[in-house]
């Protein structure tokens, strides 16, 4: 019923339409909806069909041109524009070079150490000969080719004789050169056992005492003095060699072949040391905290204690890293409740903590040990004063009272009754009472910074640290570059801004310079370049705009494109297909 009612006005409407006289073809489709008539026509039989006029060649070609031009616009204009506007900008990165750096193919670090020999009492030819024989003995001892010692005769400032001015064969160096790792002073003596040596504790100087008759004659190729010096030097740099060899072996596979000389025990010890040490940073924040489960002691003379016990140490480190120091007092801060409560030990006459509980001692939930603001890691030193009822508090297994937490800091339990010999915990810890704690903290800081144990000369240990740090920075920057290259290859959908490319160039530039400096024995320069390279590499890797659009799911893209692309693509495709069909049919026919 309703359909009819609806259809009648429509039909009437069609009839009312003015007959289109211009183009007959256009009026035909409007009549087409009257399906019944056509169906009836078709059913009545084929003979009644009227043949359409044959299609003119011209209109056929026009149609083809239209289809072709649509396709041309889509392919040559639409697709490129779409590609261009949705493409992710990726700056060119020297991926191969970056991978090569990471694999250690570009830079093989070497550590030529220059050692000056001051032999003021010797004639120049004798001294040259001594150096040559010693160098020979030294080279025989050395098993690690990347690290070698070069002896050189130094100008003695107080004895400038004629022969030294004449000879300029590159084997002489000025006594004030910063890059000299060690100075050997040959001192002739009359008494005592000879040869003997003495390493100065606060200067990079080794005094060697010898008797006059121990100078090798010009004809001999070896002498006891030369062998002695060579052995001394080898012993002094043994730990540094081991550290560097270990570093080379762990950071890149290319070097692993070279460290046959490392015994498993040494390797384990070095691994322990290196996992303990903090990552290198130009600035470290040191935080000294006093924790007490009660309200005493509520004050400590930390200012003067830091000034007296720590400031000189930090000053000597200034060429490697800077330090900021802060301190805090926290009361009513007991250790973590998750560990076993201390037990009273009759034999030690003290309360004891189990060794396995020490790792849970830090009460991370309640102690305000948040990292300091600013760039660089925070090293925490915790001084814990136990409650009077649980004092003295010690570690059960060894009776110690301090321990080190790798890459985090150190803890010391200060039992004030021992220190002050009074019944009650004092309200203020004096500088003297803090002295043992400060010494422990200083030692802990040294091992946290990765300072080697030997030799017994602070400047030498520091310069060793400088070389080790330079090498480790070099490796870490290289491996960061490698990681960035891998990331770039693995994730094609992340954008890479120009900044990253610039940083990468900068990094490789400084890495190259650091490598050159190492080869030439300028370790301070190498450290500085490696430091810049490391910072730039990190900057490139952690570029913020790279992580923004990593994930943009395909379903989302389909949902956005399909409503437009679908209806547009179907007529285009069908028209093209039909035309091809017609074309092939005509060719066949």
What is the contact surface with other proteins in residues (CB under 8 A)?
Answer: 23-26, 28-29, 31-32, 35, 38-39, 41-43, 46, 49-52, 55, 59, 63, 66-67, 70, 287, 295-296, 298-299, 302-303, 324-329, 331-333, 366, 368, 370, 372-374, 559-560, 563-564, 566-568, 571-572, 575
Nearer to other proteins, 120 or 324 (CB): 324
What is the smallest separation between the CB atom of 331 and other proteins, expressed in angstroms? 6
What is the smallest separation between the CB atom of 332 and other proteins, expressed in angstroms? 4
Give ∠ CA 421-423-428 in degrees, rounded to 5. 75
Query: Could you tell me which residues come within 8 angstroms of residue 36 by beta carbon, excluding any fewer than 6 positions away?
Result: none
What is the smallest separation between the CB atom of 565 and other proteins, expressed in angstroms? 8
Distance CA 490, CA 322 (A): 38
CB-count burial class (<10 Å; 0-12, 13-18, 19+) for 357: middle
Nearer to other proteins, 290 or 474 (CB): 290
In degrees and rounded to multiples of 5, residue 193 shows phi and psi of -75, 140
Nearer to other proteins, 141 or 575 (CB): 575
Closest C-alpha among 160, 149, 153 to residue 119: 153
Query: Could you tell me which residues come within 8 angstroms of residue 32 by beta carbon, excluding any fewer than 6 positions away?
Result: 38
Nearer to other proteins, 28 or 407 (CB): 28
Write out the DSSP string of 54-69: PPPHHHHHHHHHHHHH
Cis peptide before 442 (omega within 30 of 0): no
In degrees and rounded to multiples of 5, residue 307 shows phi and psi of -60, -45
The answer to whether 311 and 445 are in contact (CB under 8 A) is: no
Distance CA 215, CA 209 (A): 11
What is the smallest separation between the CB atom of 383 and other proteins, expressed in angstroms? 13
What is the smallest separation between the CB atom of 510 and other proteins, expressed in angstroms? 29
Nearer to other proteins, 82 or 295 (CB): 295
Distance CA 252, CA 104 (A): 7
**How many other CB atoms are found less than 10 A from the CB of residue 379?**
25
What is the smallest separation between the CB atom of 368 and other proteins, expressed in angstroms? 6
Nearer to other proteins, 559 or 583 (CB): 559
Nearer to other proteins, 300 or 403 (CB): 300
What is the smallest separation between the CB atom of 583 and other proteins, expressed in angstroms? 14
What is the smallest separation between the CB atom of 385 and other proteins, expressed in angstroms? 15
Nearer to other proteins, 24 or 265 (CB): 24
């Amino acid at each position: 019923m309703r359909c009819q009612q609806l259809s009648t006005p429509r039909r009437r409407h069609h009839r009312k339409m003015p007959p289109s006289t211009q183009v007959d073809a256009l009026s035909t489709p409007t009549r087409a909806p009257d399906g019944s008539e056509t169906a009836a026509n078709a059913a009545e039989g084929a003979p009644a069909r009227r043949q359409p006029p044959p299609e003119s060649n011209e209109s056929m070609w026009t149609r083809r041109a239209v289809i072709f031009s649509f396709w041309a616009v889509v392919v040559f204009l639409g697709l490129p524009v779409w590609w261009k506007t949705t493409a992710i900008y990726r700056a060119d990165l020297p991926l191969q070079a970056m991978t090569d750096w990471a694999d250690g193919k570009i830079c093989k670090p070497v550590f030529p150490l220059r050692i000056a020999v001051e032999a003021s009492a010797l004639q120049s030819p004798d001294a040259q000969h001594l150096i040559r024989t010693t160098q020979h003995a030294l080279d025989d001892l050395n098993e690690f080719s990347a690290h070698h010692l070069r002896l050189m005769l130094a100008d003695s400032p107080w004895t400038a004789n004629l022969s030294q001015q004449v000879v300029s064969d590159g084997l002489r160096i000025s006594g004030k050169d910063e890059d000299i790792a060690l100075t050997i002073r040959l001192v002739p003596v009359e008494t005592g056992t000879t040869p003997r040596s003495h390493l100065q504790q606060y200067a990079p100087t080794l005094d060697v005492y010898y008797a006059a008759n121990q100078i090798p004659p010009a004809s001999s190729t070896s002498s006891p003095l030369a062998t002695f010096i060579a052995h001394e030097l080898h012993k002094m740099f043994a730990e540094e060699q081991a550290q560097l060899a270990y570093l080379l072996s762990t950071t890149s596979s290319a070097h692993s072949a070279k460290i046959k000389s490392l015994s498993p025990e040494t390797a384990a010890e070095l691994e322990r040391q290196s996992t303990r040490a903090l990552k290198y940073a130009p600035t470290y924040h040191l935080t000294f905290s006093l924790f007490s489960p009660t309200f005493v002691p509520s004050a400590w003379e930390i200012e003067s204690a830091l000034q007296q016990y720590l400031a000189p140490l930090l000053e000597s480190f200034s060429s490697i890293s800077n330090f900021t120091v802060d301190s805090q007092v926290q009361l009513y801060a007991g250790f973590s409740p998750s560990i076993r409560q201390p037990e009273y030990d009759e034999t030690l006459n003290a309360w004891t903590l189990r060794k396995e509980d020490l790792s849970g001692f830090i009460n991370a939930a309640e102690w305000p040990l948040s990292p300091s603001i600013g760039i660089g890691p925070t090293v925490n030193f915790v001084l814990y004063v136990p409650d009077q009822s649980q004092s003295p508090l010690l570690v059960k297994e060894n009776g110690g009272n301090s321990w080190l937490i790798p890459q985090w800091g150190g803890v010391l339990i200060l039992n004030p009754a021992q220190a002050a010999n009074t019944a009650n915990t004092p309200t203020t810890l004096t500088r003297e009472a803090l002295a043992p704690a400060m010494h422990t903290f200083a030692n802990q800081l040294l091992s946290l910074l990765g300072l080697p144990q030997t030799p017994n000369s602070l400047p030498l240990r520091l310069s060793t640290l400088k070389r080790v740090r330079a090498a480790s920075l070099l490796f870490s920057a290289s491996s960061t570059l490698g990681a960035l290259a891998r990331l770039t290859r693995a994730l094609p959908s992340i954008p890479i801004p120009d900044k990253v490319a610039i940083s990468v160039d900068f990094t490789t530039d400084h890495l190259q310079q650091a490598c050159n400096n190492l080869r030439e024995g300028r370790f301070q320069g190498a450290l500085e370049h490696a430091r810049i390279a490391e910072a730039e590499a990190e900057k490139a890797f952690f570029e913020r705009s790279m992580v923004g659009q990593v994930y943009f799911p395909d379903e989302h893209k389909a949902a956005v494109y399909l409503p437009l692309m679908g209806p547009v693509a179907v007529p285009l495709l069908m028209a093209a297909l039909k035309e091809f069909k017609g074309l092939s049919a005509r060719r066949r026919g």
